[in-house]
């Protein structure tokens, strides 16, 4: 990490560490944490709220005229209309946290106008601090990080997130997974999208894709990836993706190959590309289909 950190990044680091301390204390007795459900398979805990409050207090104490966009409290804090907007996920990977599965993080980004300028992703279980300032590179603790150098998809490790919300097109996701899985060395689903993007930036994984993500899931990670030499966008390769609920990232060569595989599944795909997906879904009749292999296209019926 450079010695002359941007002042706003310093404040974000302080906020992330304060949230991480709250999370680590709660993790000592996770079964005592009160949990509520926002919707099916989408949980929130008192730890999410306490962490978010600590982050917001730290940020607004330093910058009272800035705006806030937070996962749990929305945009009710700060001065709305400011060109400086802090985008916060106080605990990305809540489901992992409440099960004691140690893959979760704090994510904080600063958007100025339409560009992410500062980013912090903090993994409190490992004390790993990922940071980036636009134009100054990406860092993990004291070390400059870069995306991986792998170019052959068959040698790559790719991370993703499975659909879990009501209305998600699960069968469509199975087809995307089949496209990627049979062409790569492995597919992983850790369960915290912000940390997935940090791992792409650090070269631990070679690429990432997921749908249904919100700005607080991807804002900080997007700057880490680009400052580490990678690319990030929607499934058709457009870089203005943060509010579009689909994301693909990777080193430049892997990113291009993933876009080539996934673009037809994008909400922005052409009519012809969408027809290809529908045709693939109907290649195997579900009533007579043999045992499915990775290369087989699953049927397009909703799961029971």
Rg (the chain; Cα; Å): 19
Q: What separation in angstroms does the CA of 121 have from each of 124, 233, 253? A: 10, 19, 25
pTM for the structure as a whole:
0.86
Predicted confidence (pLDDT) at residue 289 exceeds the cutoff of 70: no
Instruction: Name the H helices within 162-270.
Output: 170-181, 193-202, 215-227, 252-262
* Token digits of residue 20: 């991480």
Domains annotated on the chain, with CATH = 7-144 (3.30.540.10), 153-281 (3.40.190.80)
CA atoms of 69 and 142, how far apart (whole Å): 29
Q: Which residues are annotated as a binding site for Mg(2+)?
A: 71, 89, 91-92, 217
The terminus-to-terminus CA distance of the chain in angstroms comes to 50
* Token digits of residue 285: 């009749």
Q: Give the mean pLDDT of 280-298.
A: 42
Q: Give the mean pLDDT of 237-248.
A: 93
- Here the contacts of 38-43 (C-beta below 8 Å, separation 24 or greater) are 39/165, 39/166, 40/164, 40/165, 40/166, 41/95, 41/164, 41/165, 42/164, 42/165, 43/94, 43/95, 43/98
Given this model, what pLDDT does residue 213 score? 93
Predicted confidence (pLDDT) at residue 302 exceeds the cutoff of 80: no
Q: Which residues are annotated as a binding site?
A: 71, 89, 91-92, 217
Question: Are the beta carbons of 161 and 208 closer than 8 angstroms?
Answer: no
Residue 172: name the closest of 272, 249, 247, 281 by CA. Answer: 281
Q: How confident is the model at residue 304 (pLDDT cuts 50, 70, 90)?
A: very low
Write out pLDDT tens, residues 133-173. 999 999 999 899 999 999 999 999 999 998 766 666 788 88
Write out pLDDT tens, residues 163-208. 766 666 788 889 999 999 999 999 999 999 999 999 999 999 999 9
């Amino acid at each position: 990490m450079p010695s002359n950190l941007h002042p706003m990044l310093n404040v974000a680091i302080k906020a992330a560490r304060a949230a991480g301390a709250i999370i680590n204390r709660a993790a000592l007795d996770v079964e005592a944490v009160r949990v509520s459900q926002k919707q099916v398979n989408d949980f929130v805990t008192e730890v999410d709220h306490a962490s978010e409050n600590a982050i917001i207090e730290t940020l607004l104490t330093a910058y009272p005229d800035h705006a806030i966009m937070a996962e749990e409290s929305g945009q009710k804090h700060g001065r709305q209309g400011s060109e400086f907007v802090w985008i916060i996920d106080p605990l990305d990977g809540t489901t992992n946290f409440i099960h004691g599965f140690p893959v979760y993080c704090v994510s904080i980004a600063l958007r100025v106008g339409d560009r992410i300028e500062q980013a912090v992703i903090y993994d409190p279980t490992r004390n790993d601090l990922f940071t980036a300032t636009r134009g100054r590179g990406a860092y993990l603790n004291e070390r400059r990080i870069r995306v991986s150098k792998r170019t052959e998809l068959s040698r790559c490790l790719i991370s993703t997130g499975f659909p879990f919300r009501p209305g998600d097109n699960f069968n469509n996701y199975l087809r995307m997974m089949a496209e990627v899985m049979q062409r790569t060395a492995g597919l992983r689903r850790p369960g915290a999208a912000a940390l997935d993007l940090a791992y792409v930036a650090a070269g631990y994984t070679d690429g990432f894709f997921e749908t249904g993500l919100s700005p607080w899931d991807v804002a900080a990670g997007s700057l880490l990836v680009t400052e580490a030499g990678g690319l990030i966008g929607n499934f058709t390769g457009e870089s203005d993706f943060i509010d579009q609920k689909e994301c693909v990232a990777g080193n430049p060569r892997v990113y291009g190959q993933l876009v080539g595989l996934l673009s037809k599944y994008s909400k922005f795909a052409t009519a012809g590309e969408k027809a290809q997906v529908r045709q693939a879904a109907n290649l195997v009749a579900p009533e007579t289909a043999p045992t499915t292999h990775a290369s087989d296209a699953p049927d397009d019926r909703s799961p029971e």
